[in-house]
Chains A and B, each alone.
Chain A
């Protein structure tokens, strides 16, 4: 099985990218396919603890991120520069992640055979 990286670069709730990327991730993981989850740009907003999804009429995506462990999805990477630019710290994120810089970003992505971005 080819491994798959899923890259989130859009903020949650404005579009349904966050939800459909998550559906895609979990579907692949449930077939025991090796998957990695990446967040960069405005995609890092998806990981904020403090977001109140109900205000936007949406389901709270952070609850589903709590399930990643159940699916054995441990490879979650977040762009350091994207966090810095938005003044977001590790403590504000809802799950444990690997924070990587731009140089590591591409070498890490390169470990996956395929990628989909949302």
Chain B
């Protein structure tokens, strides 16, 4: 696998085939936890780690797996990785674990992960699967952070609040831009609006680029 192809995998995950923006997979955690940037960052890192490890493991074992039992094996691998991730979060990032709550164990049901196992890792080598996992995971994580950033800014008027959840210490209010905010943004409808705007922005940028290419 050449470095050009690896870069292509990264680019696919980050932009062209972004799991959240293009494939619209894993929307449940995306919409649910992104009320702040830190929450998005936390779940993003957890998803990135699980996705990358599951891609590598699925790819490494693909020669021994019969087609009939591949799905139960993906489920086993993903569920074990998620359980380990949850335990690690509980041990080292307890505050973040409390704020993400059920959405860490629910990474198991993030269809973006099983989709990458089925579509990519089961048909490609370990190295390219690794890069596919990193690219897709990072693409998903960046989207979570972007949506979290916007919702927090509009809904609470703050930037990067609650960073103590990651590093411990005293509660941090973050950078307060305005006191209070437009509440709707942190409520569930705000999640849908923010995601819709992100998808629209991507399509707009793509359309603009295509227009430049065609003229």
Note whether A and B form a binding pair. no
Binding site for A on B (CB under 8 A): none
